[in-house]
A and B are shown apart, each in its own frame.
Chain A
Amino acid sequence: MEDSGRTPDGELVRRFRNGDRDAFSALYRAHHGAVFRFALYLTGDREQAGEVTQEVFVWLVHHPAAFDSERGDLPAFLGGVARQFLRRRRREEQRWLPLNEIADTAPALPRAIAEDDDAADLWKAIASLPERYREAVILCDMEEMSNEQAAAVLGCAVGTIWSRLHRAHELLQRKLHSKKMRCPI
């Protein structure tokens, strides 16, 4: 996912650890989009996704030594951090929501997606997947990560990603097919 003309992440991270503001800014610009989209897919809300993105990079500011390039690449690392923040956020939201409101907390539809019916249907179908399948689809299909990168984000085996993707695709096809059967026009 790195641009070929860009300074490698390892070099930017090394400079950022030494207090180089420009290096951190370059890291942010290179990776905030992927973090934002990942959070957007999982929250369905642009504002919340923005907050999670901010939390991830602020966390990185305060933990400059946390990323170990030997254990994986930076996008996968940031994805893992974003996932932790999203889970924490979900736990806290559910703790304070009345029981009858929990069912109504489905992600809202961003306008760019709502404009296209197929995209909206697919978005809703993905949103209705169990979380483990949804994460695999988002990372591998939407963000075009390799199975290895997705496994690093989700902290599981590569084979697990493969099987989750397979199952997710089955479920998506079934959901979309049943939707078309219900609304043939």
Chain B
Amino acid sequence: MNDPQLGPSLRNLAARVAAVEPPAGLEAAVMAEFDRAHRRRQAARAARALAMCGALAASLAAGALLLRPEPKAAPPVESQAFFPIPYTPPLEPYERVMVVQEQVPVAELVAAGFRVPTSDPGGSVRADVMVSQDGRPRAIRPVVFTVSDRSSQ
């Protein structure tokens, strides 16, 4: 400051301005904003950590899926053959058939020529019955070999 008069005047003014207090509550408002921002930042950080954990878990799951041994193929279902019912005409290759499952009386099986190892000829056997287009049974395939007696039906 070159001016000998201006210098002291400026210092006097500066001292008076320094005496002017900021409005009350300014610091509280600023610190409240700091607290809000800090809480938001913490929440965002937690969300990011959660997202990273999720991504990690997903990656691990995907890795486990990719690296797991190939599942063994299910063993083929053993197809059990139908037994042709004796004294019925053989099925032609073009003939359409229908398979129905029903309780077949043991007596009928015996009458048709099957040997059924049971002491109760009055019981029945669950079996698949192949029915031809004309509605007549042509073959039979026992499903359950246990013989159920009449009283249980």
Binding site for B on A (CB under 8 A): 19, 21, 24-25, 28-29, 32-33, 36-37, 40-41, 46-47, 49-50, 53-54, 57-58, 61-62, 110, 112-113, 115-116, 118-119, 122-123, 126, 137, 141-144, 169, 172-173, 176
Contacts and interface: CB of A to CB of B under 8 A. Distances in A.
Nearest to A24: B34
Interface of B: 1-3, 5-6, 9-10, 12-14, 16-20, 22-23, 26-27, 29-31, 33-35, 37-38, 41-42
Contacts of A37: 17-18, 20
6 contacts: A112-B17, A113-B17, A113-B20, A119-B16, A122-B9, A141-B1
A57 B42 CA distance: 20
Nearest to B10: A141
B13 A54 contact: no
B12 to A, nearest CB: 6
A61 B37 contact: yes
Query: Which DSSP category, helix, strand, loop or mixed, fits chain A's interface?
Result: helix
B131 to A, nearest CB: 82
Contacts of B30: 28, 32, 54, 57-58, 61
A92 to B, nearest CB: 20
Nearest to A126: B13
B16 A49 contact: no
Contacts of B18: 33, 37
Q: Which of A32, A58, A172 is most buried by chain B, counting CB atoms within 10 A of its CB? A: A58
B20 A19 contact: no
